[in-house]
């Protein structure tokens, strides 16, 4: 068994590397806790409604599949169509950057391995940037 750096380079799924469903759940919980707590993410928080429970559940299901694990989100809702689903919310550079910073902080705090963090952050950037609609 090689170490995590080697695995990341050889394309093992991010789902396996991060530690499966419990690790993704912990990451998503921290992501939304930080969004709620940190003044630096206020513009991002403001795009959401008062209750983050459904967003927590959906991002958790989505990321499992997105990282190469079980397709919980697709089984429940079909194709993610993420850009279309985000159209009701104003997403500009500020919201994009706050989403990415919030996720980077969450990944660091739940101690995602640095090599994996870097790989995920690049993919998150592509997805978040494509979501801009203003």
Nearer to ligand HEM, 4 or 47 (CB): 47
Q: Is 11 left (phi over 0), alpha (psi -120 to 50) or beta?
A: left
Q: Is 19 left (phi over 0), alpha (psi -120 to 50) or beta?
A: left
The single residue among 17, 24, 44, 67 that binds ligand HEM, judged by CB under 6 A, is 44
**Is 45 a residue that touches ligand HEM (CB under 6 A)?**
no
Q: Tell me, what DSSP letter sits at residue 11?
A: T
120 and 112 Cβ atoms separated by less than 8 Å: yes
Taking the complex as a whole, the smallest distance from the CB of residue 93 to ligand HEM amounts, in Å, to: 10
**Is 54 a residue that touches ligand HEM (CB under 6 A)?**
yes
Instruction: Say how many C-beta atoms besides its own lie within 10 A of residue 77's C-beta.
Output: 13
Residues forming the site for ligand HEM (CB under 6 A): 44, 47-49, 54-55, 58-59, 62, 77, 82, 85-86, 89, 91, 95-96, 99, 124, 127-128, 131
């Amino acid at each position: 068994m090689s170490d995590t750096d080697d695995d990341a380079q050889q394309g093992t799924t991010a789902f396996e590397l991060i530690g499966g469903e419990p690790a993704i759940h912990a990451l998503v919980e921290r992501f939304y806790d930080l969004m709620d707590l940190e003044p630096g993410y206020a513009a991002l928080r403001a795009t959401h409604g008062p209750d983050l429970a459904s967003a927590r559940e959906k991002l958790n299901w989505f990321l499992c599949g997105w990282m190469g694990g079980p397709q919980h989100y697709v089984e429940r809702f079909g194709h993610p169509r993420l850009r279309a689903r985000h159209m009701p919310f104003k997403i500009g550079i500020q919201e994009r950057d706050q989403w990415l910073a919030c996720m980077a902080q969450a990944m660091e705090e739940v101690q995602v391995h640095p090599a994996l963090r870097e790989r995920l952050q690049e993919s998150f950037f592509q997805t978040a940037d494509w979501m801009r609609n203003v």
